[in-house]
A = this chain, B = another copy of it.
């Protein structure tokens, strides 16, 4: 089984971090195919950026549609997910939807903790898309964008743990998602210091991608009644144009 791990952010170091977190969780025989966006933004954080980077993500998925078994859109916020899921004939999951779905089966309520308030609105959109708002206790972030401020790992750890403890004590969250690619892999590091279940989004995406492959087949996806009609286009990357034009 081959799974495309598509980072729609233009940061190969972030891709490496996520791949490193994902590898140990992948089943034997599963090959992760990490790909980093070559167009778009270093770090998507607005809706316009998600609209654009999501369209670029479709181009990359189209290039790999036939040589992988499933796709992970590896940015919390899941740019292009709804479009990709409708269009392509294989399972597609996003980091946010994966983490939220796993959180909802592991406890009664979940919070999201991330490193910057800039992402809150977009992350709440992801919860809306999941339909699981009722189990959601909110996003907690540092007051200001602290990504730059985290000169050392220690101060970031301190702040994140403070927020996590508030999710448990104030919001009564059973499960806490560490959202945002820069936090990939931290859940297992922090788990022993936290009285709630911590969820790592990239790991969640890997287990759900595998799960979807096991539960279905590519031909089942190809035969979906809800597949869009074939459509000609102008100005698109070749692979994507071909995919859209295929009946």
Binding site for B on A (CB under 8 A): 10, 25, 27-28, 38-42, 45-52, 54-56, 58, 80, 82-87, 91, 93, 97-98, 101-102, 104-108, 118, 120-121, 130-135, 145, 168-169, 172, 174, 191-192, 194-200, 203-204, 207-208, 210-212, 214-217, 219-221, 223-226, 228-229, 231-236, 240, 244
Q: State whether B84 touches A48 (Cβ < 8 A).
A: yes
CB nearest neighbor in B for A10: B234
> Across the interface, do A235 and B58 meet the contact criterion of CB distance under 8 Å?
no
For the complex formed, measure the closest distance between the CB of A226 and the CB atoms of chain B, giving whole angstroms: 5
Chain A residues touching B, majority SS: helix
Given contact pairs A83-B51, A207-B211, A220-B197, A228 touches B46 in the complex (Cβ within 8 A): yes
| Given A91-B106, A104-B130, A108-B121, A46:B203 Cβ within 8 A | no
Q: Is the Cβ of B234 less than 8 Å from the Cβ of A40? A: yes
CA distance A200 to B84 in the complex (A): 24
Give CA–CA (A231, B48) in the complex, Å: 11
